[in-house]
Amino acid sequence: MKDICKRLRGIFRRELRIFAHRPLFLFTMIVAPVLCLVFFTTLMADGLPTKLPAGLVDEDDTHITHIVTRILDSMEETDLVALYPSFTEARQAMQRGEIYGFFYIPKGLTEDAVANRQPRLSFYTNDAYLVPGNLLMKDLRYACELGSLGLTRETLYGKGLTEHQAMGILQAIVIETHPLNNPFLDYSVYLNNIILPGILILIVMLSTSYTIGLEWKCGTQRELYAMSGRSPTVALAGKLLPQTLLFTLMFVLYDVCFYRFLMFPCRSGIVPMMLLGTVTVLAAQAFGVFLFGAFIGQMRLSLCLCSLWGILSFSLAGFTYPVPAMSPPLQALSWLFPLRHYYLIYVNQALDGYPILYVWPSAVALLAFLLLPCTVLWRYRAAFLKYKYKS
């Protein structure tokens, strides 16, 4: 036992020496994750995008339509930036990317409305930019409804009804929406909680494959094998331990930043999230070790697979487009991505604060990743002795 500890320490120190000689490690292990943290949290500092540029085509131009304009401009997410004389010009402004949507008031709207001829308002949103398009849709639609209801309300007031009575007639059913645990629809909470750990998982997998592959590339694998006392387990454990510590610290930094500084909802407390972070780092490393073992001697191929896996995990984690809406083979495939399980456990723990038992399949799956290296250890043993780096 003592012997193993000594060997681990030896390999650990050797690994630190390797890090010290390569600026690349400094970049990928420290600079890149911190840079991403700063980038994404400052990018979405507003939470929900507000003041999205929109346009207006007002062919009617009466005091009634001016009221609609004022309502639109006072809305949180809409910023009326321009008035266009015709529909075509508004559409062209949309194609130039100046506005994300516009409101169209046809000629004779006020006249038709007063004369009970049911005029028609239109609004156009640019859904090629889905997020701003959707947000604007909500506001523009609300303005349309308000315009329509306002007209009936005036009639009701004219008949001598009180505001209370009028509202009961106009809007009998009111929907009260409660977005649980993210009441302000904060996109920073929604996206950063998954994107940043996703990038970290990608970097962990790449670094794992890279550092192991470097031994073969530099032809020093036998030296490592000798230091480990001919045990692949000791060799790999000693080799990856410095990274485990570093990346776990990085995850802790993320958690502290999210849940202490930015005050993202964290109903489970910060400790379970740090624990989850540690297990996720280990799972990603285990996956990297597994991939390198499965394609032993081919550092490049395993790095390619790690990149593919890491980038694909952003889609298959299902935090933007939900997994149950994908086709069945992809739903099955999503089990093989650590980020998918991280996402499900995060929702259960930090966002909702429920007992972990409700997501036990994901917890088990994440732990099962830790066992993956056991399946390829025999290949490592052979590789340490036989294989050479192939470019």
Partner 1 sequence: MKTISDTLQIWYHELTTIMRDKGILIFILFVPLAYPLLYSYVYTNEVVREVPAAVVDESGTSLSRRFIRMMDASPDVRIHARCHSMAEAEELIRRQEVYGIVRIPSTFGRDIWLGNQTHVGLYCDMCSMLYYKALMLTATNVSLEMNKDIKVRHHLHATTGRQEEITRMPISHDHVPLYNPQGGFAAFLIPPVLMLIIQQTLLLGIGMSAGNTREQSCGSFIPRHRAYRNPLHIAMGRLIFYFLLYLLLGIYMATFVTRTFALPQLGGYGTFLAFLIPYLLACISLAMVLSALVYRREDCIMVFVFLSVPLLFLSGISWPGAAMPALWKYVSWLFPSTFGMNGYVRIQGMGASLHDVLPEFRGLWVQAGVYFTLAVLLYRRQIRQATLQNV
Which region, judged by CB under 8 A, interacts with partner 1, from 5-13, 176-184, 219-227, 234-242? 176-184
Q: Output 249 or 347, the one with its CB closest to partner 1.
A: 347
Give the separation between CA 72 and CA 80, rounded to whole angstroms. 7
Quote the least distance from Cβ 119 to partner 1, whole Å: 6
Per the DSSP assignment, residues forming a β-bridge with 55 are 82, 102
**SS3 state of residue 287:** helix
321: contact with partner 1 by CB under 8 A: yes
Give the separation between CA 364 and CA 265, rounded to whole angstroms. 25
Give the total of residues touching partner 1 (CB under 8 A).
117
| Residues 68 to 87 in contact with partner 1, rule: CB under 8 A | 79
Give the separation between CA 115 and CA 268, rounded to whole angstroms. 59
Q: Output 103 or 369, the one with its CB closest to partner 1.
A: 103
Quote the least distance from Cβ 110 to partner 1, whole Å: 10
Annotate each residue in 52-71 with x if it binds partner 1 (CB under 8 A) or - if it does not, as one string. Answer: xx------------------
Q: Under 8 Å CB-to-CB from 180, ≥6 apart: which residues?
A: 352
| Residues 331 to 370 in contact with partner 1, rule: CB under 8 A | 344, 347-348, 351-352, 354-355, 358-359
122: contact with partner 1 by CB under 8 A: yes
259: contact with partner 1 by CB under 8 A: no
Interface residue with partner 1, options 26, 39, 111, 375 (CB under 8 A): 39
Contact 388, 216 (CB under 8 A): yes
Interface residue with partner 1, options 316, 345, 363, 365 (CB under 8 A): 316
Give the separation between CA 60 and CA 325, rounded to whole angstroms. 44
Contact 279, 178 (CB under 8 A): no
**SS3 state of residue 298:** coil
Quote the least distance from Cβ 1 to partner 1, whole Å: 35
Quote the least distance from Cβ 50 to partner 1, whole Å: 7
Give me the half-sphere count of Cα atoms (radius 13 Å) on the Cβ side of residue 51: 2
177: contact with partner 1 by CB under 8 A: yes
**Torsion 196-200-206-207 (CA) sign:** positive
Helix or strand holding residue 150 (H, E): helix 130-158
127: contact with partner 1 by CB under 8 A: yes
Q: Under 8 Å CB-to-CB from 121, ≥6 apart: which residues?
A: 103, 104, 105, 106, 109, 144, 147
Quote the least distance from Cβ 6 to partner 1, whole Å: 31
Q: Looking up tokens 């790449």, which residue turns up?
A: 206
**Torsion 164-165-166-168 (CA) sign:** positive
| Residues 274 to 313 in contact with partner 1, rule: CB under 8 A | 299-301, 303-304, 307, 310-312
Quote the least distance from Cβ 275 to partner 1, whole Å: 20
| Residues 212 to 241 in contact with partner 1, rule: CB under 8 A | 213, 217
Q: Output 306 or 383, the one with its CB closest to partner 1.
A: 306
Quote the least distance from Cβ 193 to partner 1, whole Å: 10
Q: Looking up tokens 């156009």, which residue turns up?
A: 124
Quote the least distance from Cβ 236 to partner 1, whole Å: 19
